[in-house]
Amino acid sequence: MVYLTVFCQCLASGPKLQLIWTVNSLHSIHSCCITSLSSAGLQYSHVVNASKMLQYNQKRNCQFRPSHAPPWRVLFFGTDEFALPHLKALNENRLSKRYRIIESLEVVIPKKSKGVVYQYAEDQKLQYHRWPIPTWRDRFDVGVLTSFGHLIPGRIINAFPYFDTGPILLQEGFPVPSRITANQLRDTLSNEGTRLLLVALSNLLTLQRLEHEQPHDGISYAHLVKPINAYVNWDSQTGVDIDRQYRALGDMFNLRTEWKGVITRLFDMLSPLEMEDILPKIHQKYPEGQVCPRPGLPFFHKSTRTLCIRCKDTWIGFRSLSYKKPMSAQAFYNGYLSKSRNLGVVFTSTDNELDTYSFRTAAALPKLLTAAVAFA
């Protein structure tokens, strides 16, 4: 199960605070706007002091626009494939002629980024800004932060009425498909998060009244992924361990091992269900309970053209690999494993540091992942 959550930091939690935020963010308005605020349900007494700071601007033309209601002026922070669907949905809504909740849209990207968000902004002729950015007050209503890669300082966050932190506004759970990979989960979460983002922006004022704090229980803390984590320790890892490692890291680093001192990358791993058809043939040569093959030992299954490698408790299969150059498992067998001089040469186990990681999740939510989309 995955829970998608929309967070919000609102600088206006009640009528009086809403008024303070409105005055601060619209410091160029004159006293005609105070009447508009009062007619919107806010007490005139709340703005008496604020009116003095507006007197200098009374001779300027002013058209009051309550920036605490849609359509929103949005500044989007994002970089990668996870962020792109969110930006596309916001821009498509901005261009839509039906129920438009986005009035304007600008983009912030990392200083040297040439990624998909940058390319989309270029293609759509969206105004974009390189990080770091100045503090723009009164220019935007909502800051949408989606996989950006930089910590946002408080001076930036506090310049928005709504930003990417604070209580939960909207949360929804859905089951995680069996054997999903990290990239597949990323795409699923991105699509679901995009949908929730639009729902939240459409109902932000209502959801604000229903906000609640995020609980401390039920949260898994992710570790910084390093290339060493992609190496396989054939001696200590089970088949289940390696299957999870492959699905989590395979798209990012590819599983790695060494054979005869050469770094080898493993591709196209067979699922445990596919391996069930291969194991009987392997057990004919290495009977279970009678022969204990050394972890890392290779075996080529000819009929399926699969390179099988022994781990701690079972065999794992791969259809292709890169040993000096990319090749099929059949080519690896023909060029190397079939030679008598390589008989019994095993793939080397490497300490991948995965056993040093701990993942803390509440017992009440044993199989939940948490994802968040936040805005201001």
For residue 123 the two structure tokens come to 């293609």
| Residue at a domain's end among 209, 237, 253 | 209
Give the Cα-Cα-Cα angle 211, 213, 217 (nearest 5 degrees). 140
Question: Taking a C-beta distance cutoff of 8 angstroms, is the pair 376, 163 a contact?
Answer: yes
Coil/strand/helix, residue 245: helix
Mean pLDDT along residues 76-103: 96
Q: What is the pLDDT of residue 369?
A: 44
262 and 196 in one domain?
Answer: no
Task: Enter the tokens of residue 34.
Answer: 């105070």
Q: Is residue 361 part of a domain?
A: no
Q: In the predicted model, is pLDDT for residue 59 greater than 50?
A: no
For range 313-318, the mean pLDDT: 97
Residue 24 placed within a domain: no
Q: Which amino acid is at 345?
A: V
β-bridge pairing 306-310 and 2-10 = unpaired
User: How far apart (Å, rounded) are the C-alpha atoms in residues 58 and 206?
Assistant: 33
Same domain, 204 and 86: yes
Name residue, tokens 């390589």.
342
SS3 100: coil
103 and 235 share one domain: no
Higher pLDDT, 133 or 51: 133
- Output the pLDDT for position 214: 81
Find out whether 70 and 137 touch, Cβ atoms under 8 Å: no
Pair (153, 234) in one structural domain: no
In this structure, the answer to whether residues 266 and 190 fall within a common structural domain is no
Q: What is the pLDDT of residue 221?
A: 74
How many angstroms separate the Cα of 277 from the Cα of each of 73, 237, 298, 306, 357? 57, 22, 17, 12, 33
> Which pLDDT score is estimated for 360?
43
**Residue 272 sits in the same domain as residue 165:** no
For residue 176, being part of any structural domain is answered with: yes
What is the enclosing helix (H) or strand (E) of 145?
strand 142-146
Give the mean pLDDT of 286-312.
94
Say if 192 falls within a structural domain.
Answer: yes
Q: Which pTM was predicted?
A: 0.74
Q: Quick one: pLDDT at residue 113?
A: 86
The mean-pLDDT minimum among 3-12, 47-56, 205-214 falls in: 47-56
Mark 53-62 as b/e (b = at least 16 C-beta within 10 Å).
ebeeeeeeeb
Average pLDDT over residues 89-96: 97
Identify the pLDDT of residue 15.
29
Q: How many domains does the chain have?
A: 2
Q: Residues 82, 205: one domain?
A: yes
Is the pLDDT at 225 greater than 80? The verdict is yes
Kindly tell me if the per-residue pLDDT of 272 is higher than 90.
yes
CB atoms within 10 A of CB 69: 12
Residue 278 confidence (pLDDT):
96
Same domain, 92 and 179: yes
The reply to whether 28 falls in a domain is no
pLDDT reading at 368 higher than 50: no
In 3D, which of 56, 44, 53, 60 has the Cα closest to residue 25?
Answer: 53
The arithmetic mean of pLDDT across residues 199-212, rounded, is 91
Q: How many helices (H) and strands (E) does the chain have?
A: 12, 14
Residue 332, in any domain of the structure = yes
Mean local confidence (pLDDT), 263-268: 98
For residue 358, the model assigns a pLDDT of 64
CATH of the domain at 194: 3.40.50.12230
132 within some domain: yes
Residue 359 falls inside a structural domain: no
Mean pLDDT of the region 104-133? 96
- In CATH, what number is assigned to the domain containing residue 343? 3.10.25.10
Specify whether 88 is located in the same domain as 152. yes
What share of the chain in percent tops pLDDT 90? 62
Check whether 197 has a pLDDT greater than 70: yes
Q: Range of 116's domain? A: 2-7+65-209
Q: What is residue 290's predicted lDDT score, i.e. its pLDDT?
A: 82
Do 129 and 232 lie in one domain? The reply is no
Q: What are the helix (H) ranges across 96-203?
A: 116-123, 154-157, 182-202
Taking residues 328-343, what's their average pLDDT? Answer: 97
For range 306-310, the mean pLDDT: 98
How large is the average pLDDT for residues 267-285?
Answer: 95
pLDDT value of residue 208: 87
Are 191 and 297 within one domain?
no
Give the model's pLDDT for residue 230. Answer: 97
Question: What rounded mean pLDDT belongs to the chain?
Answer: 80
- For residues 267 and 254, give the distance between their C-alpha atoms in angstroms, rounded to a whole number: 7
**305 and 275 share a domain?**
yes
Is pLDDT above 80 for 371?
A: no
| Cis peptide bond N-terminal to 293, omega within 30 | no
